[in-house]
Amino acid sequence: MSGITGKVIAITGASDGIGAATAELLAARGARVVLGARRADRLAQVAHRITGAGGEAAFLPTDVTRRDELAALTALARSRFGRLDVLVSNAGIGPISPFADLHVDEWDAMIDVNLKGVLHGIAAALPIFREQGAGHFVNVVSVAGLAVRPGMAVYGATKNAVRTISEGLRQESAGAYRVTVVSPGFVRTDFTDTIPNAELRASLAAVKDRIAIPAASIGEAIAYAIAQPPAVDVNDIAVRATAQD
Ligand SMILES: NC(=O)c1ccc[n+]([C@@H]2O[C@H](COP(=O)([O-])OP(=O)(O)OC[C@H]3O[C@@H](n4cnc5c(N)ncnc54)[C@H](OP(=O)(O)O)[C@@H]3O)[C@@H](O)[C@H]2O)c1
């Protein structure tokens, strides 16, 4: 299947930010979207906006740290829409801090959501893609994995781990599925609000206010990769503010 129209696309972290904007953009272009995140009320609002605009959407409260909940999300795609064409693993958290602050629980949480959450998505979708003989993994990583900055090492490490996993997944695909990583720069979402270190939170919020790009810019990059003909696999896209260093 070429293009976006009619594709069944599951998106994690679809209750807010990049995930919600991507879901709305893809649905507006004819995709049938399946939305996952923890907050059911926010998912319902996104789904309501999509169906109100004439699109098709289903949603299921999903915590990506739970393997069974990813399996339930991909199963919903099949039971509601008959197949799964794309899994966008977008759910992520960034409670970044300098190592000296010893926010060890946040290090664990970033590994659980940003890294293990993506692996749970692969485990849920891979058998479906192999059975169908087609499918597409889109993993949202970060430019923070491309250039290491103080305070961002654990976060960047989780994103670079997903980059490595994605390349391995691609090499093992034998033509059965496509794999794309998308690396956003500063995007205008609430992502920085959970940074525990006040100084770091304030400095990144100031940069965000100055240069951040809209969440839909990342949705456009994801849409570009999905829309390519089946024989074309767009593997790696970075999307930054023009003014970002
Ligand atoms: N904003 C940026 O500047 C930026 C830059 C580079 C990369 N990114 C990446 O882009 C992705 C989306 O970030 P965003 O900016 O859109 O952030 P956001 O507005 O904070 O949205 C994060 C999304 O992830 C979901 N989420 C968090 N923990 C989850 C869990 N355990 N299970 C399921 N869903 C979970 C949240 O939903 P619930 O709370 O409802 O679960 C929410 O929908 C992340 O992977 C992030 O690392 C963002």
Query: What's the Cα-to-Cα distance from 97 to each of 178, 179, 197, 229, rounded to whole Å?
Result: 34, 30, 6, 42
**What is the position in ligand 1's atom list of the atom closest to the CA of 218?**
10
Average pLDDT over residues 135-154: 95
- pLDDT of 203 strictly over 70: yes
Probe ligand 1: pick from 65, 70, 154, 187, max atoms within 8 Å of CB? Answer: 187
Q: What's the CA-to-centroid distance between 37 and ligand 1, angstroms? A: 9
Average pLDDT over residues 113-134: 98
- Supply angle C-alpha 6, 56, 73, rounded to 5: 90
**Sequence-ordered list of residues with C-beta below 8 angstroms from that of 229, at least 6 positions apart, any chain:** 2
Average pLDDT over residues 213-232: 98
Calculated CA dihedral for residues 202, 217, 60, 51, nearest 10 degrees: 130
**Sequence-ordered list of residues with C-beta below 8 angstroms from that of 143, at least 6 positions apart, any chain:** 183, 184, 185, 238, 240, 244
Ligand 1 atom 17: the closest Cα is on which residue? 191
**What is the position in ligand 1's atom list of the atom closest to the CA of 155?**
47
Q: What percent of the chain has pLDDT over 90?
A: 96
Domains of the chain: 8-239 (3.40.50.720)
**Sequence-ordered list of residues with C-beta below 8 angstroms from that of 7, at least 6 positions apart, any chain:** 1, 26, 30, 31, 32, 85, 86, 226
d(CA 208, CA 138): 25
pLDDT-based confidence at residue 205 (cuts at 50, 70, 90) = very high
pLDDT digits 0-9 by tens, 23-75: 999 999 999 999 999 999 999 999 999 999 999 999 999 999 999 999 999 99
DSSP state for residue 187 in the 8-state scheme: B
- pLDDT of 2 strictly over 70: no
d(CA 145, CA 23): 24
